[in-house]
Amino acid sequence: MAFPLPRGLTPSEIEFLAEMEMVTVVPRQRLEGLELLGGPTDKLVPPQRASLPLWLALLLKRQRRVNIVPPYWLQPESLQLILQFETETREYADAFSPPPRLPGQRRSGRREYSPSSSPPLQPSRTGPLYTLDGQRYYPTPPFLPQNTALTHSDASMPNREVALPYHWLEVGHMLLDAASDDLPEPDQVRRLLKDLREVRMAKMRKGIEVLDTAAAAGGGVALTGVGAMEIGEMRGFVAGVVDGLRKIGASREQARREQMAEEGPGMGYQGTQDEDTSMDL
C-alpha cells in the first residue's frame, strides 16, 4: 500500500522549482544559444558574462564549460550582514529580514543599513512584462533576477542593498555542492548559511508558540521574508499544530454548549423565548 504524499510541496519539488532561477556564468568555450520553453538562452562567448537557468548552468559546470558567478547575497560579507541583522535588530527580533523588492514595488524611503535598522532591499531591475496578447504582468520567483551577479557598476555602489531571495536556501546549497570552487570562502559560506537557517527556524518555532493566542485574537503569524524551503519544511508541523488547535477549539465550544444546556431554559434559551413572545404580540 502506497503512503499518501504530504500536503504541499516536497523538498525535492521545491529544489526543482529553484533550478529555474537565473544565474550568471562566465563561459570557458563558445556555445550557441538553446531554444527552451522559457525562451532562447544567450550565446556563450568567452569571456562575456551570460545569464542561464540554474539547472543548465550546473550541467555546464559539471562539464567544465562554464564558471558560475555567485550572486551578491551569497558573498560572506553579505551573509554576515544579514545574520547580524537577524540576531541584533530589536525591531525584527521575532520577524525576518525583508525580502527583495518585487518589480513595481515602491521604495518607502532611502534606507541605509545599520545594526539598529532594517537592511536595505536589493534593487529591482525588472519592470513589467507583456504577454503575446499585450496584457501586462509582473514576474515572481523563480522568474526574477534575484540570483544573478551584480555588474561592475552595481558592485561599486556605496549603498548597495542586500536581501535573501525566495529560493536562497536551495540555490545556496546547490551552488555549494556543484560549484564550491567558484564561491569565495565556501566553508565560511556554508557555515553562515547553516547559522542563518537555525536562527530563522527558531523564529518560526517561536511564532508557532503564540499561534493559539493570535488565532483567538483573529490574527496570524507574519511570514514575510520566509523562503520556499523554510515554508516547505515547516508546513507539515504547522498544519498539525493548526489541526490540534482546531480540535481544542471545537471541544471547548461543545463544552460551552453543554454547560448552557445544563443551566436550563432561563439561561440558554432566554433569547428564543423573547423572540416567541414578540411574535405572539
Give the list of residues 6+ apart from residue 20 with CB closer than 8 angstroms, or none: 38, 53, 54, 55, 142, 143
3-state secondary structure the chain: CCCCCCCCCCHHHHHHHHCCCEEEEEECCCECCCEECCEECCCECCCCCEEEEHHHHHHHHHCCCEEEECCHHHCHHHHHHHHHHHHHCCCCCCCCCCCCCCCCCCCCCCCCCCCCCCCCCCCCCCCCEECCCCCEECCCCCCCCCCCCCCHHHHCCCCCCCCCCCCHHHHHHHHHHHCHHHCCCHHHHHHHHHHHHHHHHHHHHHHHHCHHHHHHCCCCCCCCCCCHHHHHHHHHHHHHHHHHHHHHHHHHHHHHHHHHHHCCHHHHCHHHHHHHHHHHC
pLDDT of amino acid 167: 92
CATH architecture of 1-103+114-281: Up-down Bundle (1.20)
- Residue pair 29/22 in contact (Cβ under 8 Å)? The answer is no
Chain centroid to Cα 196, Å, comes to 13
- One digit per residue, the tens of pLDDT, for the chain of length 281 reads 455 666 678 888 899 999 999 999 999 999 998 888 878 888 899 999 999 999 999 999 999 999 999 999 999 999 999 998 888 877 777 788 888 877 656 554 333 344 344 444 333 444 567 777 888 877 777 778 888 886 544 444 444 568 899 999 999 999 999 999 999 999 999 999 999 999 998 888 777 766 666 555 555 667 788 888 988 887 777 766 666 767 777 777 778 888 888 876 655 445 444 445 444 43
**Given the DSSP bridges, would you call strands 39-40 and 50-53 parallel, antiparallel or unpaired?**
unpaired
Q: What predicted TM-score, i.e. pTM, was given to this entire model?
A: 0.71
Reported as a single tens digit per residue, the pLDDT across 232-255 is 887 777 766 666 767 777 777 778
Domain ranges of the chain: 1-103+114-281
Give the list of residues 6+ apart from residue 224 with CB closer than 8 angstroms, or none: 95, 96, 98, 99
Could you tell me if residue 33 is left (phi over 0), alpha (psi between -120 and 50 degrees) or otherwise beta? beta
The grid cell for 253 is: 465550544
Could you tell me which residues are beta bridge partners of residue 117?
none
Report the chain's mean pLDDT, rounded to a whole number: 76
Alpha-carbon distance of 220 to 208, in angstroms, equals 10
For residue 46, is the peptide bond before it cis, meaning its omega torsion is within 30 degrees of 0? no
**How many Å is the Cα radius of gyration of the chain?**
26
- Residue pair 109/133 in contact (Cβ under 8 Å)? The answer is no
- Residue pair 107/129 in contact (Cβ under 8 Å)? The answer is no
